[in-house]
A and B are shown apart, each in its own frame.
Chain A
Amino acid sequence: NAGVTQTPKFRVLKTGQSMTLLCAQDMNHEYMYWYRQDPGMGLRLIHYSVGEGTTAKGEVPDGYNVSRLKKQNFLLGLESAAPSQTSVYFCASSSLAHPPHTGELFFGEGSRLTVL
């Protein structure tokens, strides 16, 4: 029962470096999301995808890119990391179990990123 798996769990970057966070889900879910969580600010949506090959911007998309080449994977990229991107990143997925509602989100364990 893997559910939603994020890699890596921890990463330290220097300003200007690039990296990719990988999210994989084995529940055959259509929808996938990337959130960031900062102290006192709850979860903020970065990008999301409603199906393979489609992506859309969320609340805070600047500085990030995403790709959904395969249904089970959703990649979050930082092309040139900045200290403001220091955060905990959560990936989530959902199915249309309760159409037309998104229903419950299933979260990964989170990835803690520090940009120096």
Chain B
Amino acid sequence: EDKVVQSPLSLVVHEGDTVTLNCSYEVTNFRSLLWYKQEKKAPTFLFMLTSSGIEKKSGRLSSILDKKELFSILNITATQTGDSAVYLCAVEDDYKLSFGAGTTVTVRA
């Protein structure tokens, strides 16, 4: 059975801090790893990673994948209150995604 574990489960930071979220996985037939941000309703897509060692960046967010050690990290620099959300990691295995439980990030002003 596919397994996706995220850590920490939750964290509280102050505006301007840097946050690092972790995602480790065990899947039978790894194809890709995706990160999503979920605020009130539906998750919204952040990144898709398929190759080790290649950092993807979007503004203050960046992510990298290590296929040898089976994990990914998501970094958020210079955090803002709008970054408060649940961040979900998902791993693709044979055309379906398995999600982790998520990390709840709270950014205080």
Contacts and interface: CB of A to CB of B under 8 A. Distances in A.
B104 to A, nearest CB: 10
Given A102-B96, A104-B48, A105-B45, 7 more contacts: A42-B88, A43-B90, A45-B96, A100-B31, A101-B92, A109-B42, A110-B41
Interface of A: 31, 33, 35, 40-45, 48, 50, 58-59, 90, 98, 100-105, 107-110
Contacts of A109: 41-42
A31 B31 CA distance: 16
A101 B45 contact: no
A98 B101 contact: no
A103 B97 contact: no
20 contacts: A33-B96, A33-B97, A40-B9, A41-B101, A42-B88, A42-B101, A43-B90, A45-B96, A45-B97, A45-B98, A48-B95, A48-B96, A50-B95, A59-B1, A101-B50, A102-B32, A103-B48, A104-B48, A105-B45, A109-B41
A101 B93 CA distance: 9
Contacts of B96: 33, 45, 48, 58, 102
A101 B4 CA distance: 18
Nearest to A91: B42
Contact of B88 (A31, A43, A58, A59): A43
B48 A101 contact: yes
B16 interface: no
B99 A102 contact: no
Nearest to A108: B42
B101 A102 contact: no
